[in-house]
Amino acid sequence: MKKIVTTALLLTCFMAFSQQKTIEQNVDALLKRMTLEEKIGQLNQYTGDNAATGPITINPNKQSEIKAGLIGSMLNVLGTQYTRQYQELAMQSRLKIPLLFGQDVIHGYKTTFPIPLAEAASWDLDAMELSARIAATEASASGIHWTFAPMVDIARDPRWGRVMEGAGEDTYLGSKIAYARVKGFQGKLGDLNSVMACVKHFAAYGAAVGGRDYNSVDMSERMLWETYLPPFKAALDAGAATFMNSFNDLNGIPATGNKYLQRDILKGKWNFKGFVVSDWGSIGEMINHGYVSDSKEAALAAITAGSDMDMESNAYRYNLAQLVKEKKVSIALIDDAVKRILRKKFELGLFEDPYKYSNPEREQKELNNLEYRKVAREIAAKSIVLLKNVSPPGREKSILPISKQTKTIASIGPLVKERKQNMGFWSVELPEVDYDKYVISQWEGLQNKVGNTAKLLYAKGCEIEGDNKDGFAEAIAIANQADIVILSIGEKRDMSGEAKSRSNLRLPGVQEELIKAIQATGKPVVVLINAGRPLIFNWTADNVPAILYTWWLGSEAGNAIADVLFGDYNPSGKLPMSFPREEGQIPIYYNHFNTGRPAKNDNESNYVSAYTDLKNSPKFPFGYGLSYTSFEYSNLKLSKNKIKSTEKIEVSLTVTNSGKVAGEEVVQLYLRDKVGSVVRPIIELKDFQKIKLNSGETKTVKFIINKEKLSFYNANLQWIAEPGDFDIMIGSSSADIRLRDSFELMN
Ligand code: GLC
């Protein structure tokens, strides 16, 4: 038997090797036949004319340029009909090199999943991989070869609107999610239901000064390596086919022209064999940065630094040939970039069949698969975070879950009957989808759940923005008729996302005043907060007895929210970002250093690192989320309390569901390196497990601590684990540590 397995394994490796060899031979043979203009054409990407995800440069000659082999890729071209039309133009070119079609399939294609920050709150890596897998299946059935995802930017500043697109503030969680999403999107590259991933934005884009999009980033190399680069490396380890560089300058050099990032780290140290696409117009924007004087210098800086493909700036199109003729750019650099791109086109099978992904029958089948909506509903429910659930004055029980026998329910707020708002930013705008039918509103979710047993009352109450309170009276009136009130408020879907930085994170308009007015009726109130980022809602958090953070949950939002509201799904989400009390606390993140004068508690401020006018702690901490049940942690055991760097510690503990209903708990393992050659965070997430427990059930949870989990970058950028004492903390959040112990790493 063993011999058969070995032979099969050897055969598989040989076949893979020989396939790669064939691809290399094909790439080299094609390259030899290409003119300089055709080579530069492969480095050129334009948007389709149906949609824009950046400042458009009008080019009426796209079609003729495709036929002349002067464009290698398009983005924002959706559907088999349009991709086939453009591909047919490419097949009229001299060498018939197929186009690559890229698209921002960030959280679903037709079936829309929760925004990535919401999915991150599920801490369910399998669920996130599955949602990316379905997104890839739908997108690839619509002619898309390549998604500009996952976005893996670590973000500690909720003023930055693009926090909605990533996995939050933590490097360990962000790295695990990056890996899962790449695996989900790509599956096996070249398969019919696979799309190339594009890891973005390389690098450190989330650290923009002031949380202002596109702004400068300045940080130590150690911070870059320790906090911001690991998710990119995890995505690369997952086999990511492409990277996208970022708009920001990093320590004074724009990422698009940053040789250290793209050649020294990515293509050098990390040995990345795929290709790098610029962000929209980012090559030409180096002129605005003041890093180059004109488009020609921009092209020189970008190609030299390792940007292989130019998205929408035209810098390569109009300058590279001249730069080669002037011997300022070697043809070897051009050839390297072209080969990286051609390699992927061969790997995808596009030379064998340029229309492989543009099959209308498959598109029809895949884009109407109701199974995908079921998955969307499940992950949406898992993404909801229960922030608060206490019994209101005069009531024994907490409000949630709401009994299905409730007679009269008032549903109030500007987002109750919205449909498309639930899609969040970066949902794919499909021309033929009528969102007003396609997305389950929160009102429809209520009707589906209890429409036959409860009397449902509705009032909008107010708009999301503006100071008009005319709707308050109607809202109060229906609240007074109800047994319970569900208030759905928040942002608009496009108040977070790209170029959506906000200096004020409070609930917009008069929404919190509406909450106060409804609360004043004395009725039990549940508040749903729909947003793409952490918001500030201190009065609500302090006074309303039940709060669910519902983010933007996609196509099945209404059903998923109803599943949680009525207990058909026990909420299990945990915050992937710290929620500030005030903007003045930002940047705020859990894994900070201790400083020389740490505040012992939230109220100390005399000669310690604290605010005199505000508590230090966040309103809601990283890793926080409640459940309808409760979990007891016990029996923490370490196999050793002293280890050498070659050894590992087996950690075990038991978790019991001490409540009355089944539920899931994210058991979080944190470490603290007590003393280091550079200061170390007071707490760092190093592992987690999401477990499901029935009421009364106990499970043993096991972790392994090895040298990798004890390592960090020292002042010389060496990745090392230093001998010394470590604290181990097992928690239900970063601020709810249930079990502690310590151990020593010996020399
Ligand atoms: C945008 C975004 C990037 C996106 C690209 C194409 O400006 O920064 O994330 O993939 O352009 O839409």
Average pLDDT score over residue span 709-734: 98
Angle at 324 between CA 148 and CA 70, to 5 degrees: 45
* 353, 381: one domain: no
DSSP 8-state secondary structure symbol assigned to residue 449: H
Strand 100-103 and strand 455-459: the pairing is unpaired
DSSP for 683-701 reads -EEEEEEEEEE-TT-EEEE
In this predicted structure, which of 53-67, 468-482, 555-569, 673-687 has the lowest mean pLDDT?
Answer: 53-67
Q: Are residues 328 and 195 in the same domain?
A: yes
Residue nearest to atom 8 of ligand 1 (CA): 279
Half-sphere exposure of 258 (CA within 13 A, CB side): 26
For residue 342, tell me if it sits in a domain: yes
- Residue 183 in contact with ligand 1 by CB distance below 6 A: no
Same domain, 287 and 436: no
CATH of the domain at 426: 3.40.50.1700
Provide mean pLDDT across the span 713-735.
98
User: What pLDDT band is residue 5 in, cutting at 50, 70 and 90?
Assistant: low
Question: Is the residue at 113 inside a domain?
Answer: no
Confidence bin at 54 (pLDDT 50/70/90): confident
Instruction: Please provide the average confidence, as pLDDT, over all residues in the chain.
Output: 96
Q: Whose CA is nearest to atom 3 of ligand 1?
A: 279
The last residue of a domain, from among 362, 396, 430: 362
Residue 336 annotated to the active site: no
- Among candidate residues 213, 279, 563, 687, the one labeled active-site is 279
Q: What share of the chain in percent tops pLDDT 70?
A: 98
Determine, yes or no, domain membership for 610.
no
Average pLDDT, integer, range 238-260: 98
**Residue 21 reports pLDDT greater than 90:** no
Domain that holds residue 231: 34-101+125-149+169-362
Is the pLDDT at 16 greater than 90, yes or no? no
What pLDDT is stored for residue 432 in this prediction?
84
CATH of the domain at 726: 2.60.40.10
Is the same domain home to 321 and 389?
no
For residue range 570-616, what is the model confidence (pLDDT) as tens digits?
999 999 999 999 999 999 999 999 999 999 999 898 999 999 999 99
Does residue 49 register a pLDDT over 90?
A: no
Does 302 map to a domain? yes
- The alpha carbon of 416 and the centre of ligand 1 are apart by a number of angstroms equal to 30
Question: Which of 106, 147, 148, 205 maximizes ligand 1 atoms within 8 Å of its Cβ, making it the mutation to test the pocket?
Answer: 148
For 70-83, what is the mean pLDDT? 96
Q: Is the pLDDT of residue 434 over 80?
A: yes
- Tell me, yes or no, whether 237 and 91 share the same domain: yes
Q: What is the pLDDT of residue 17?
A: 65
- Mean pLDDT of the region 493-513: 98
Q: Would 546 be classed as within a structural domain?
A: yes
Task: Check whether 233 has a pLDDT greater than 90.
Answer: yes
Q: Is residue 29 in some structural domain?
A: no
The residue among 362, 388, 420 that closes a domain is 362
| Helix residue ranges per DSSP H, 187-227 | 221-223
Question: If we measure between CA atoms, which residue out of 245, 229, 247, 211 comes closest to residue 154?
Answer: 229
pLDDT band at 15 (very low <50, low <70, confident <90, very high): low
pLDDT at 12 over 70: no
Look at residue 522 in the predicted model and tell me its pLDDT. 96
Q: Is residue 271 assigned to a domain?
A: yes
- Whether the per-residue pLDDT at 13 is higher than 90: the answer is no
| CB of 448 sitting under 6 A from ligand 1 | no
Task: State residue 431's pLDDT score.
Answer: 82
Residues 354 and 430 in one domain: no
Give how many domains the chain has, as a whole number.
Answer: 3
**pLDDT above 70 (res 70):** yes
Atom of ligand 1 nearest to the CA of 201: 9
Residue minimizing CA distance to atom 12 of ligand 1: 53
**Does residue 619 lie within any of the structural domains?**
no
Q: Say how many Å lie between the CA of residue 104 and the centre of ligand 1.
A: 7
Q: How many other CB atoms sit within 10 Å of the CB of residue 173? A: 24
Q: Are 347 and 382 within one domain?
A: no
List the CATH number of the domain containing 186.
3.20.20.300
- More confidently predicted of 19 and 195: 195
Do 331 and 406 sit in the same domain of this protein? Answer: no
Residues 399, 542 share a domain:
yes
Choose the final residue of a domain: 556, 576, 596: 576
pLDDT on residue 493: 97
660-704 confidence digits (pLDDT tens)? 999 999 999 999 999 999 999 999 999 999 999 999 999 999 999
Q: Please check the confidence at residue 376 and state whether its pLDDT lies above 70.
A: yes
Same domain as 44, residue 139: yes
Residues 355 and 392 in one domain: no
Radius of gyration of the chain (CA): 27
Ligand 1 atom closest to the Cα of residue 165 is 9
SS3 readout for 230-286: HHHHHHHHCCCCEEEECCCEECCEEHHHCHHHHHHHHHHHCCCCCEEECCCCCCCCH
Reported as a pLDDT band with limits 50, 70 and 90, residue 14 is low
**Structural tokens at position 445:** 């979710």
Q: What is the pTM of this model?
A: 0.97
CA of 134 to the centre of ligand 1 (A): 21
pLDDT at 4 over 90: no
- Of 100, 104, 198, 205, the residue with max ligand 1 atoms within 8 A of its CB, to mutate for a pocket test, comes to 104
Average pLDDT over residues 208-236: 98
224 and 82 in one domain? yes
In 3-state terms, what secondary structure has residue 366? helix
Q: How far apart are CA 275 and CA 308, in angstroms?
A: 6
For 131, the enclosing helix (H) or strand (E) is helix 125-140
How far apart are alpha carbons 260 and 276 in whole angstroms? 14
